Structure 1
Amino acid sequence: MTEGKLNELFSAHGAVTSAKIIMDQYSGNSKGFGFIEMKERSDADKAISDLNGKNILNREMKVNIAKPKTNNWN
């Protein structure tokens, strides 16, 4: 998967403002997840509904709204 292909996949559901695949800083390999920002929330909801669980490149996609990273040190 490339960021361009990820953008293309989500663009079928609405305007994508950014697509980012997260890479391991040491190996340079993908960590297996990324982030998509869409212009409209309704388009994002449709993309989630249509793409969550779909098999893309022999991997099941998990698509949901990103949640803030939590601090588990407390």
Structure 2
Amino acid sequence: MSIYVGNLSYQVTEDDIRGVFGEYGTVKRVVLPNDRETGRLRGFAFVDMNSDAEEAAAIEALDGAEWMGRDLKVNKAKPKEDRGSFGGNRGGYGGGGGRGRY
């Protein structure tokens, strides 16, 4: 499971995050998503730590804490939702709709 870290400064680096979260355990991975169009950081990150206990300690200590001029939002990351097929078709049929099939 990952930790979601929101309301980050757009100047934050992976090393910055590793430094802060490293105070609570071993940081295995940091993901800093970029905006596809601008390439700019999106203001949030995902952090994987070595154990659930380390994650819990980091969440408790850092949620709501001020860092780099911002109040952090830190919690367990929610699993990525299955967005289904194109057009939200849940029945598994077609998906192109209205293209003169008849």
Alignment of 1:1-74 (within 5 A): 1-70=12-81, 71=83, 73=88
Runs of 5+ in structure 1 lacking a partner?
none
Q: Which runs of 4+ in 1 moved over 4 A?
A: none
Instruction: Kindly state the Cα deviation for residue 44 of structure 1 after the two structures are TM-superposed.
Output: 0.4
2:31 counterpart letter in structure 1? K
> 1-side partners of 2:24 and 2:80: how far apart?
26
C-alpha displacement at 1:14, in angstroms?
0.2
TM-score w.r.t. length of structure 1? 0.91
SS in 1 for 2:32: strand
Structure with higher strand content: 1
TM-score by length of 2: 0.68
Greater displacement, 21-30 / 42-51: 21-30
Measure how far apart 1:69 and its partner are. 2.2
Three-state SS of the structure 2 residue aligned to 1:31 is coil
Equivalent residues, number: 74
Structure with larger Rg: 2
Match of 2:93 in 1: none
Question: Aligned Cα RMSD in Å?
Answer: 1.4
Higher relative CO (Cα under 8 Å, sequence separation at least 6) belongs to: 2
